[in-house]
Amino acid sequence: MNRTITKFKVFLSLEKEEAWLNRKLDEGLQLFDITGSGIFYHFKKVSNIDKVIQFDYRKFTNKEDFTEYLQFMTDAGWEHIFGRYDSGQQYFISDRSQNLQLFSDIPSLIEREKRIRKGVFGSLSFLVPIYIGLFMSSTDLSVLWQPQKEFLTPGLWEKTGSEFWRAFFFEFPFAFMRILGHLIVPIILIFILVIFLNSYWRIKRYEKLTE
């Protein structure tokens, strides 16, 4: 069985993600799966590293259109290595010797960024009402400057010495999860918003190149 390797990574830049994946490929590690909402990258060891990874951004309403898209990309010389019909980012690999480019001009790059922005805006439109309706009332941002409120061990802060530290470290994992529970949705919203703004700035940068 081929050994697989998992890497934790968070990207706000498509260019940096693509460059990182290709550096890993140069090291003999080829991407084959991404889990955990896009933060756990799974690689397999390969011997043929004379390849290049690029990605597109497309969402499909049905699997039939997705299958046609993949067939078109296969005919063009690309192998699809990751992406679902509704996931947005589609990862492809090809032999470096073919000199293929998914996006050979600035207008096509701008169109990809517009698709990304539209997809991220859809995520924001979906999450914001849920956050307001379900999580706003239970979110307590004061845990950022008063985290001790989530340490529920009776008399913890009156303890001293080794007795305090034993109680503190026992309670810490539970307190951390309670704090994270207050902050997880705001963190996700901020993360999505940053991706949206990055896409907007990339479009402006590409547009300047065409002036």
Distance CA 34, CA 153 (A): 38
Top pLDDT among 170 and 144 is at: 170
Residues 162-190 pLDDT 10s: 888 888 888 888 888 888 777 777 777 77
| Beta strands per DSSP E along 59-189 | 79-82, 88-95
Decide if pLDDT at 1 tops 60.
no
Q: What is the end-to-end Cα distance of the chain in Å, rounded?
A: 53
- Pick from 99, 89, 108, 121: nearest CA to 21: 89
What pTM, to 2 d.p., does this model score? 0.68
Residues 42-89 pLDDT 10s: 999 998 889 999 989 998 889 999 999 999 999 999 999 999 988 888
DSSP letter (8 states) at residue 148: G
- What pLDDT is recorded for position 153? 82
pLDDT band at 146 (very low <50, low <70, confident <90, very high): confident
